[in-house]
Structure 1
Amino acid sequence: MTAEPVAHCPFHAPERKTGFGHDHLAPEIELQGDVWHLRSYAAVKQVLRDSERVRQGATTDNVLVTRLRPAVIFQDGEEHREQRTAIARFFTPKTVQDAHHPFIEALTERLIGQLEQAGGADLSALSMQLSVDVAARVVGLTNSSKPGMDRRIDELLSDGEINTGGSTGMVARLQGVLTQSKGLLRMSKFYRVDVRPAIQARRRKPQEDVITHLIGKGYNDLEILVECLTYATAGMVTTREFISVATWHLLENPEIREAYLASDRNERHRLLHEILRLEPVASTLWRRAEHDITLEQGGVVHAIPAGARMILDIRTANADSAAVGAEPLSLCLGRSLPSGVQAQAMSFGDGAHRCPGAFLAIHESDVFLQRLLSLPLRIAGSPQLTFNEMLMSYEIREFKIKLERPAERELPNVF
């Protein structure tokens, strides 16, 4: 598979806001210690699509997890296929448009109203509230006994002191929350204030959401809690970061911002997917070889034995010029891609574990960004960019945006 060169990028867009230096120059397939690092688009795609020989790389010895029915993120094989098929209906474009679009629009207007009244906002907080409230509606977390679920989830998932035993990634964060005393206390609060009231309400009156589905499948309260934590780690916080990085690009590039606002929905989504290709939030996936695997890269055959662990480098795969064309580290509105390569590349994963909420994430981001970027905004200082080693993702904080007020008309000097 070889991509055609990018025919024409209409604007000279800058490179990644979240650049890691020269990570894209590392070997495409490399064995470090006992872990295989896969960095090419072709190798990552092959492994993600090989459901017969490859399994989810995340495991845990935590008694709290192993004695429960496994959450969807821990599942593989037929069990995972059945669960994914059952929940897919909650995330289809039709369901998002018919059941959730009016809510997303109303929520956007409320948040924009707060920004306008205050004259500015911290976008990292604003985007967290949006992503949590939207995902909570789909999951069924709509009966909290106290406001502030976005803050509770942020506290639950953002404590850098959590020890995950050397593991990395979204699942490592979930494992850490379920292991550490501080995490258990916060999880208990999340359960009491947010999850338990939602479960009780749906036992009385079922709804068309994930929690109702889990109740119908016989999940107990603790198993439902773990599923809710999974959606929080894999959905809410990732959408938050994407909205921030997309805003960063579009506010600093007036031509691209203007093109985005003037485009139809399909073109806007294409641009957002290109930003996500360039700036994938979840940069690393873990997998384990259930059976021997053979990968060929550049004429070299790599034999990965059964039992071996693999790190799939999404950021580097997304910058593979063999798949995405020339200038892979630049934002290009007119990027030409070969058949089989999606605009966001591997940012939503691929194969059996591809993100089920991909359309929802882009749709809610687009609704919010259209409204936000129609305002006369400017960035008030540089956003704070850090890298979360446990989540293996970037975090954008202190992203202050302000409204530009029309300059007061100068009074004539009559003296």
Structure 2
Amino acid sequence: MTTEQSGCPMHGSAPGSDRKASKPGETATGRVTQRNKMWHIGSLAAAKEVLLARHSTLQAGFTAEYIPRNVFRNHPILISDGPQHDQQRRNVARFFAPKVVASRYGTLMEAVVDKILDQAQRTGSITFDQVALYYTVEVTASIVGLTHARVPALARRLEKFFRQPPLDRSKPQLGRTKRQWMSAAHNGIGPVLGLLIFDVLPAVCSRTKAPRQDVISHLIEQDYNLADILVECVTYGTAGMVTTREFITMACWHLLDNPALRQRYVAAEEAERLSILAELIRLEPPVGHLYRRVTENFDVTDRDDTYTLATGELVDLDIRKTNADADAFAHDPLRVCPDRERSEGVQDVGLSFGFGAHGCPGQPLALRETDALLHRLLALPVARESEPTISWDDLIEGYKIRGLTLSVGS
């Protein structure tokens, strides 16, 4: 049954877009285009080829090219490539496998949700994006091992770290002036030092004496030094707390504004709920662009055309565009339709979690964490009180949603 035949009941055949996060001034790129030394790819098939060309490219997103590699005994998983990256992924996979997420972290997520709902029903109103931040910080901190500081303090440090000057990856030095680089260092050093002193050092001391089933204990076992562990904690903080917080807020917003989808979601079994969330994250990827630096020439193909990407060129994978590629997601790919048909080999989440060796291992955790909160929250008499605002973060190329206030009944 195709999407067209099923009629995507929520919309019928009405064209349009359900996407809430539309970046002002963002130019629509073609499927595969080049400007100067930078390729822009909006074709999902071509983007997958780039991500699979792992011996011909290196990580170039998240300012990875400006992180000094000689500081680390073990390159952070964010910027490593090749056999080292593969080994790192195998080592951490046991923390994020679907069965592990359900069995080991299910009780943790349930306990945190209990606290959130108790408070929400007592006060009758919550600012949901702030609640989502504390929720993701508490869950991820427990998995990583950052359990010594209070959750609000850890959340503040992570938020401060991302208050960075704008950047432009198409320009030398990311388009920043010396003054802006100084500002970036100033804004980043304080939170990172706080993370080191109040979170990482106590965790390392504790886990060295008594290892636990968490990421920091694993890193100590793998002989990571303090700098290695600190950067990995920043990485997991970014992926597990910051971007997941934004998606949870976005998914809640969508479900509140779509009563039919909300009703279906609340009544559904877990597998169907996760498919609805997968469709929402496909439409609204929290990280909108991924970047790779070409290290040796290779070809990518889109439809009947072949393009040669040359050594030294930068490749911008436009995830917001690949996830709306009509070749991959037929029939109004900018509409929400969990039942849509996809092309062969296309994941329901699109490229929201990357792909291949560089796919995010935390995908099962992010979706189940979102479901653990939203399924119980939206079963209550909850309504949106305010229209949230959207801004954009240049560092992670993602949206920021603030001011989603909800009224919560008993």
Q: TM-score, normalised by structure 2?
A: 0.90
Q: Is the 8 A contact 1:6 1:334 kept in 2?
A: no
Q: Is the 8 A contact 2:289 2:317 kept in 1?
A: yes
> Would you say 1:68 and 2:72 are equivalent positions?
yes
Partner of 2:105: 100
Q: Alpha-carbon deviation of 1:29?
A: 0.6
> Would you say 1:117 and 2:116 are equivalent positions?
no
Listed as ranges, the matches of 1:252-401 within 5 Å are 252-401=257-406
2 CA distance for matches of 1:332 and 1:209? 37
> Would you say 1:239 and 2:238 are equivalent positions?
no
Q: Alpha-carbon deviation of 1:178?
A: 11
Task: Tell me: CA distance 1:287–1:5, structure 2 relative to 1, closer, same or farther (3 Å).
Answer: farther
Q: Is the 8 A contact 1:4 1:338 kept in 2?
A: no
User: Deviations along 1:288-343, whole A, 9 cap, x unmatched?
Assistant: 12221112223222111122110000010000011011100000132112331111
Partner of 2:39: 36
Name the amino acid aligned to 1:156. Answer: F
Q: Alpha-carbon deviation of 1:6?
A: 6.5
Q: Secondary structure at the match of 1:311?
A: strand
Q: TM-score, normalised by structure 1?
A: 0.89
| Unaligned residue ranges in structure 1 (runs of 5+) | 170-175, 406-415
Q: Is the 8 A contact 1:168 1:392 kept in 2?
A: no
- 2:51 pairs, out of 48, 53, 57, with 48
Q: Is the 8 A contact 2:121 2:409 kept in 1?
A: no
User: Deviations along 1:129-168, whole A, 9 cap, x unmatched?
Assistant: 11111111111111227862122212222x1447798689
User: Deviations along 1:247-302, whole A, 9 cap, x unmatched?
Assistant: 11100111110000111111000000000000000000000122211122232221
> Would you say 1:10 and 2:9 are equivalent positions?
yes
Identity of matched residues, %:
34
1 CA distance for matches of 2:223 and 2:373? 36
User: Deviations along 1:364-388, whole A, 9 cap, x unmatched?
Assistant: 1001001110111111121011112
Q: Is the 8 A contact 2:112 2:135 kept in 1?
A: yes
Moved more, 141-150 or 209-218: 141-150
Partner of 2:83: 78
| Unaligned residue ranges in structure 2 (runs of 5+) | 175-180
Task: Report how many aligned residue pairs link the two structures.
Answer: 396
1 CA distance for matches of 2:173 and 2:372? 32
2 CA distance for matches of 1:183 and 1:164? 18
2 CA distance for matches of 1:299 and 1:95? 43
2 CA distance for matches of 1:31 and 1:393? 22
Task: Tell me: CA distance 1:325–1:163, structure 2 relative to 1, closer, same or farther (3 Å).
Answer: closer
Task: Tell me: CA distance 1:25–1:146, structure 2 relative to 1, closer, same or farther (3 Å).
Answer: closer
Q: Secondary structure at the match of 2:299?
A: strand
User: Deviations along 1:351-401, whole A, 9 cap, x unmatched?
Assistant: 111001000000010010011101111111210111122221110011111
Name the amino acid aligned to 2:22. Answer: G
Over the residues paired in the alignment, what is the CA RMSD in angstroms? 2.5
Task: Tell me: CA distance 1:4–1:373, structure 2 relative to 1, closer, same or farther (3 Å).
Answer: closer
Q: Alpha-carbon deviation of 1:55?
A: 2.1
